[in-house]
Chain A
Amino acid sequence: MPPERTVHVVDDDAAVRRSLERLLSSAGFAAVSYPTPEAILEAAPGLAAGCILLDVQMPGMDGLMLQAELRARGGGLPVIVMTGQGDVATAVRAMKAGAADFIEKPFNDEVLVTAIEAALGMVGQIGRDRDAAAAAQRIATLSPREREVLEGLVGGRSNKEIAFDLGISIRTVEVHRSRMMERLDVRQFAEAIRLAVLARLGS
């Protein structure tokens, strides 16, 4: 297995690590797992290729801190962050901090494989720029209202808060939200967030 196909898994939960190793292995990747952030930081200088799949919530140092630390140590490997369900704020922070992508636990194997393939296909900042341009294009198809709703959601605000901010009913916010998802051609809200973050980064 070439090192380019290696996925470095960081998660404090042994069951998750083992299951990821098996899944990645069955999907044709090489999996190396680390139980703690410190463990991968130790190994970081030797990591030449592949990508990093890290859990955002770990004892001692969380995923975002580890991401920043890896970056600071000059590690150029793309990072995919695993977040909790609906943890928009963390996802947005991860993306802004330069994560290639984020996936919400628990995830579909296809989503994981797609994200890993995309990350592995990236060559540094260039890949991200390309993604950002594509995202901006799709975001541009939204109506101003739909974009406002998306911005609010990316800002971590609830439907209720957005409705209050925009002076419209919650029901209307829900309508805009679902229409926005249709136009962006995404099924998961996390994907919409990813596009929004990428588009803003690219603009």
Chain B
Amino acid sequence: MQWMEQLSDPQELRRCIRDLVALSMLPAIWNTYDSGQISDSIAAALVSMLSADFVHVALPGWREAPGVELTRTGIGIAAEAVGAIRTALQSQQLARSTGQTAEHTAEIANPWGEGTMRLSCAPIGFGSEAVLVAGSHRADFPTQGQRLLLGIGANEATIALQRWQAEADKRRYLALIERSSDFIGVADLDGVPQYVNPAGLRLVGLAGMEEARRAHILDFVFPDDRARLRDEVWPIVMREGRWIGEINFRHFELGTEIPLLVDWFRVDDPRTGQPTNIATVSRDLRLQKRAEAELRRLNETLEHRVAERTVELADANLKLKAEIAEREHSDLRLHDLRLELFHAARLSEAGQMTAALAHELNQPLTAATNSVNAARRLLAKGDQQTIGTVREIMEEAAADTMRAGHIVRRLRDFVIRREAEMKEESVKSIVKEACAFALIGAKASRVRVNLRFDPNASQVLADRVQIQQVLVNLLRNSIEAMADSKRREIAVATALINAETVEIAVADTGTGLDKGVAERLFEPFVSTKHNGMGLGLSICRSIVEAHGGRLRGGPNPHGGAIFRFTLATASRTGGADAP
């Protein structure tokens, strides 16, 4: 070999051997190096060994490892020259020239001086993109020996980098396995554990692999499941390559059951296809089971809560129903009370009129009694001429009795308590009757009553007795208010104020409304009468409002007061939506 001749020089030979030994030593140092460090180390060694001006290493990025591009310069070459070298190399496309997978030499212009720069290139076994380039301005570069060293260095670097890459993969997988929270284990075909990850060891309560290797994989399984594992699962895994299912493991120290979702699989030798190991990735189901139990418990609790709540709701519902019933009851009571009150007011009104009524009743009764007695006496005389007189007397007696009966009927109508009865009523008849009733016993007061009826306001929808109560109340208030007045006139007027509303106004010439009382006129228990309960107007207003009308009081321009209230015309009930 040509280059061997050069090694005839013992000095050169010694140097070469020394360099080869040094290069062979490097991989041991590189054990813990990464790709960048390995590249730097080989570049540094070769610069020195080759007495080169520079050594350039370029590695493409690989997986998660970044690409490497570094340049070591020899003695006397400024570090700043690196840029120029790289530019020159790139321009030559030396480092990346396709197809240049073999060692070769080349020349470029000297980036930092005159003449040419001679290059020696060696691939680093990662395809065309990974390359080791040494350069020197010396004319004899590269010698055979130098090319040999470069080649050996590139090979060493290639092996080291490949090993590093392989170990990086292994480290990564190991990290994954070791950090996994799943139980990951590998056993030989006899069932002796070879590897159990830390999580697996922790799960079954083993201190380390030493202990694990002394056990058999059946020892990892809860006694109840051992036969199943041995007789069913293991043969399936060996035959079919995989089995997934739930198996209870056993805690070595506590002996407790550990439910696992087990994925058993067979590991085959990739070259021979023969099974070499059996392995498992198993997931601790306790958390899940606990979660499931918790969920079940929660569900049950929830169901319980729902049941409880349902009971509570049922209770609440009952209470609510009771309250509603109570309210309905109170409404009913209120309704009764209202009737009661109306009744009481009527009774009170009637009570105030008792004396007057008694007199009023006694008059026709007295007249009738007298007439009957007079007739009896006349008949006793047997005078034939008196028969005509007696007939006349008896007719009058009958008429007087009828009169008494009529008064009684009106009184009863007024006093008897009953529900409102809305009917189409004649305004005229209501007002006239109410006036007649209110004026019983009032003849003594010498009140003049003037009635004025609007012919357009003839029919209203009303409870006759209640509206008459309102009128009687207003009229009697008026009569009382005029007790000390010189002029005692009541004007009752009806008017159609719009198509649906009739207004009835009662005006008097009495003392009028005191300002303090006027504002609170319709409040219950407000009265100007020394013996009044103060319920009259408040009940009147209730009645009018129950009829959908309004009751107002105000001063009469001619002195005294005017009270007006409205009622619905009966025509309104003629519509299709009539109740």
Contacts and interface: CB of A to CB of B under 8 A. Distances in A.
Contacts of B155: none
A172 interface: no
Nearest to B370: A19
Nearest to A28: B377
- State the majority secondary structure of interface residues on A: loop
A109 B373 CA distance: 6
Contact of B371 (A22, A60, A85): A22
A105 B359 CA distance: 8
Given A16-B366, A18-B396, A105-B365, A23 B377 contact: yes
Contacts of B400: 15, 19
Given A15-B364, A19-B374, A25-B374, A106 B443 contact: no
Which of B369, B403, B446 counts the most A-chain CB atoms under 10 A from its CB? B369
Of the listed residues B366, B368, B369, B446, the one surrounded by the most CB atoms of chain A closer than 10 A to its CB is B366
Contacts of A22: 370-371, 374-375, 393
Interface in A64-116: 82, 84-87, 105-109
A189 to B, nearest CB: 15
A84 B362 contact: yes
B377 A105 contact: no
A19 B359 contact: no
B302 interface: no
B396 A85 contact: no
A58 B445 CA distance: 10
A22 B358 CA distance: 23
Nearest to A110: B373
Given A22-B393, A60-B446, A109-B373, A15 B378 contact: no
B371 A19 contact: yes
Interface size bracket, B side = 20 to 34
Question: Nearest 6 pairs between A and B by C-beta?
Answer: A19-B370, A26-B377, A109-B373, A105-B362, A22-B374, A15-B367
Interface of B: 355, 358-359, 362-371, 373-378, 381, 393, 396-397, 399-400, 403, 443-446
Contacts of A57: 355, 359, 444
Interface string A6-34: 00000111011011101101110000000
Given A13-B363, A87-B355, A107-B369, A19 B377 contact: no
Interface in A122-151: none
A46 interface: no
29 contacts: A11-B363, A13-B367, A15-B396, A19-B367, A19-B370, A19-B400, A22-B371, A22-B393, A23-B373, A23-B374, A23-B377, A26-B373, A26-B377, A26-B381, A57-B359, A57-B444, A59-B443, A59-B446, A60-B446, A62-B444, A85-B358, A105-B365, A106-B365, A106-B366, A106-B368, A109-B369, A109-B370, A109-B373, A109-B376
